[in-house]
Amino acid sequence: MRRIDAISIVLGVFVAGGLAYVALQLIGLDSQNAGIWSQVLLVVGLVGWVVTYAVRATGKNMTYHQQREAYEQAFFQKRLDELTPEELAKIQEEIEQEQKSQQ
């Protein structure tokens, strides 16, 4: 994320809070109650965002993890493509021996 994106998000949150405050005043709440409820809305939004972030982080469903996984798969595929048929047969034989020894 670029700095300008972070600044835009912060400004958007402040504007949303201000708009919620004004909207709550327009529907008839006094300034104190409008302030309290606009803060409640912002806190609920923040907690919701943190929960979604935690779910993505624990599920490894984030851009960094996806990029790293794609890189690793491409790297191993390239290494596999570079192997000669004899080397592939030797590796396959070693894998089969390991599987037999584990059983």
Contacts of 88 (CB under 8 A, 6+ apart): 80
Structure token digits, residue 87: 């080397």
Residue 53 has what pLDDT?
A: 87
Q: b vs e for 29-48, b when ≥16 Cβ sit within 10 Å of the residue's Cβ?
A: beeeebbeebeebbeeeeee
The residue ranges of DSSP E strands in 1-103, in sequence order, are: none
State the average pLDDT over residues 61-83. 88
Residue 47 has what pLDDT?
A: 94
pLDDT at 30 over 90: yes
Q: What pTM was estimated for this model as a whole?
A: 0.56
Domain count, the chain: 1
- Whether the Cβ atoms of residue 61 and residue 39 lie closer than 8 Å to each other: no
Which pLDDT band holds residue 1 (cuts at 50, 70, 90)? confident
Which pLDDT band holds residue 2 (cuts at 50, 70, 90)? confident
Q: Please give the residue range of the domain that contains residue 29.
A: 3-102
- Measure the CA–CA gap between 39 and 31, rounded to whole angstroms: 12
pLDDT at 72 over 90: yes
Which pLDDT band holds residue 23 (cuts at 50, 70, 90)? very high
